[in-house]
Amino acid sequence: MSVNNWRNALLGSEATIGDAIHSLNRSALQIALVIDGGDRLIGTITDGDVRRGMLRGYSLNTSVREVLHHDPLVVPPDVTREVVRAIMSANRIQQLPIVGADRNVLGLHLWDEFPGPVPRANLMVVMAGGKGTRLRPLTENCPKPMLPVAGKPILEHIVERAKRAGIERFVFSIHYLGHMIEDYFGDGAAWGVEIGYLREERPLGTGGALSLLQDRPTAPFLVTNGDVMTEVGYGDLVDYHMVHGAAATMAVRNHELKNPFGVVHTNGLDITGFEEKPIVNSHVNAGIYVIDPSALDCLEQGEHCDMPTLFGRLRDQSRRTIVFPLHEQWLDVGRPDDLNRARLISH
């Protein structure tokens, strides 16, 4: 049996990358099945394909053919569920198209079809110790990660989304009004997870807080700011990190800055060209990371260290540090208008 809404993943071959992102978000299947005019499968596009295209500088108007995976793994319709699960597990894939003898798309298997998320060994560390000064007076008597959105704290949204990805172990780094977080979450049993705590006596930065981990993780672990709300698949981020053999991965958002003026290019006194209101695109830190346990060797216990510094130390050691471009919904709840936007989105 394939998922019922697989047709929502169909995408014509003349579509753009922007169309592909819209299709991925609309179907929530994390794959687009690119077909020709006869409904024959000519390739697939996943989140990973889109992200690699974004890193190569492709725009939303670029043809999907530039990021198309032309030879995806597929199965015929008569394959049993047990075989399908074995194929998907062995190849570490989340989607498996079903095609007929003429390559017509007949359905789509999803890893999520199978009962329950597969538990992951990966720990998630959540930075929940900030004072939230830009959100005062709301944070005068409430830590920022505990501010309610859609009837529950921001931090609870993070835990629930991570749990849906199979993550069951958490560590909260707390400082300002940390007792309120501990009183609410306890050991995590009410959410079916395990929660421990790092208690910062003074702000140490994200990297510095990681130096307080008593038990070194045995697998790559997630780190997220406690005020970030996103629809990113945490499991996808971990898999991306492992596939690329990185020491540290940073989720990034594309930031577009439009110059309101016409730019004049010069060489000395001579005008060499004009550029009308140019747009500069850059990647900005999204506050979500995957870290290899060996990266903790770059930290001194109790020493202040932010994440850019940790990434720099790893690069100085010729360790690989990479980015994970986000196209999913993402919001850093740092100001009152961000909190209002998060509440509107969640309703």
Report the greatest alpha carbon distance in the chain. 73
Average pLDDT across the chain, whole number: 84
- Taking residue 35's Cβ as centre, other Cβ atoms within 10 Å add up to 19
Helix (H, G, I), strand (E, B) or coil at 104: strand
State the pLDDT confidence band at 342, using cuts at 50, 70 and 90. low
Mean pLDDT in residue range 233-249: 89
CATH hierarchy code of domain 120-346: 3.90.550.10
Would the pLDDT of 347 be above 80? no
pLDDT tens digits along 97-145: 888 888 888 888 887 777 666 788 899 999 987 776 776 676 777 788 8
Active site residue 277: yes
What is 6-113's CATH superfamily?
Answer: CBS-domain (3.10.580.10)
| 295/310 Cα distance (integer angstroms) | 8
Provide φ and ψ at 116, rounded to 5°: 70, 150
Beta strands at 248-258 and 321-326: parallel, antiparallel or unpaired: parallel
Q: Cβ neighbours of residue 121 under 8 Å, at least 6 residues apart?
A: 218, 219
- Alpha-carbon distance of 244 to 108, in angstroms, equals 26
d(CA 311, CA 207): 9
- The answer, yes or no, to whether residue 332 has pLDDT greater than 70, is no
Where along the chain do its domains lie?
6-113, 120-346
pLDDT digits (tens, 9 = 90+) for 271-304: 788 888 877 777 788 889 999 999 999 998 889 9
pLDDT tens column, 133-189: 776 676 777 788 888 877 788 899 899 989 988 899 999 998 888 888 989 999 999
pLDDT of 249 above 70 = yes
Taking the C-alpha atoms of residue 292 and residue 33, their distance in angstroms, rounded to an integer, is 33
Token pair belonging to 186: 């306890």
Q: In percent, how much of the chain has pLDDT > 90? A: 23
* CA gap 236, 173 in Å, rounded: 24
Query: CB atoms < 10 A from the CB of 13, how many?
Result: 15
Contacts for 319 with CB less than 8 Å, ≥ 6 apart = 247, 248, 295
Model confidence at 201, in pLDDT bands (50, 70, 90)?
confident
Predicted local distance difference test score (pLDDT) of residue 1:
46
**DSSP-assigned letter for residue 292:** -
Give the integer Cα–Cα distance in Å for 80 and 86. 10
End-to-end CA distance of the chain: 33
If one counts every other C-beta atom within 10 angstroms of the C-beta of residue 50, the result is: 21
Q: Give the whole-angstrom CA distance, residue 61 versus residue 176.
A: 45
Q: What is the pLDDT of residue 195?
A: 95
Residue predicted with more confidence, 290 or 29: 290
